[in-house]
């Protein structure tokens, strides 16, 4: 993957075709060590770290309802519009910049891989 340009120490990566990202559906892409969850919300493509900020579970195994990602472990809801926790005091989700060029979705992630505090925990089956 080639570096195209930088956004505050972040590098853009091509991750999917635009038509592969559907409203209310989550897809996850490994990008420079980051687990990037992509979904479409109100005609925009949203990219967040696939990790609940409270329990470290993969949000991609939860549901998307009414514009919110729901944690499968404990039900916390995160607003897709800005990543903030709805009705709780958990930290806001890490969001990644997104752009679309010639039908290809590009996401900017940090140039360095995530630490343990930003890596999702795999839950047993």
Per-residue pLDDT tens digits for 64-99: 999 999 999 889 999 999 999 998 889 999 999 999
**What pTM did the predictor assign?**
0.90
Query: Taking the mean position of all CA atoms in its chain, how far away is CA 103?
Result: 19
pLDDT at 124: 64
Q: Would you say residue 63 lies in a domain?
A: yes
Q: Would you say residue 51 lies in a domain?
A: yes
* Cα–Cα dist 49/120, whole Å: 9
pLDDT at 46: 97
SS3 (DSSP) at 118 = helix
Show the domain range for 75.
10-113
Position 7 confidence tier, pLDDT thresholds 50, 70, 90: low
Q: Would you say residue 4 lies in a domain?
A: no
CATH number of the CATH domain containing 23: 2.102.10.10
Q: Would you say residue 2 lies in a domain?
A: no
Q: Would you say residue 59 lies in a domain?
A: yes
The neighbour count for residue 112, using CB atoms within 10 Å, is 12
pLDDT at 8: 64
The structural domain count of the chain equals: 1
Q: Would you say residue 55 lies in a domain?
A: yes
Lay out the sheet containing 104-110: strands in order across. Answer: 10-17, 104-110, 98-101
Q: Would you say residue 122 lies in a domain?
A: no
Q: Would you say residue 47 lies in a domain?
A: yes
């Amino acid at each position: 993957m080639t570096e195209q340009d930088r956004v505050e120490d972040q590098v853009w990566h091509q991750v999917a075709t635009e038509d592969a990202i559907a409203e209310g559906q989550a897809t996850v892409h490994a990008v420079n060590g980051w687990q990037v969850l992509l979904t479409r919300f109100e005609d925009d493509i949203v990219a967040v770290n696939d990790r609940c900020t409270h329990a470290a579970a993969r949000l991609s195994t939860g549901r998307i309802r009414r514009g919110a990602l729901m944690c499968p472990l404990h039900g916390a809801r995160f607003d897709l519009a800005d990543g903030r926790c709805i009705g709780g005091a958990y930290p806001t989700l890490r969001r990644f910049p997104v752009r679309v060029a010639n039908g290809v979705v590009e996401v900017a992630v940090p140039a360095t891989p995530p630490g343990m505090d930003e890596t999702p925990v795999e839950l047993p089956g």
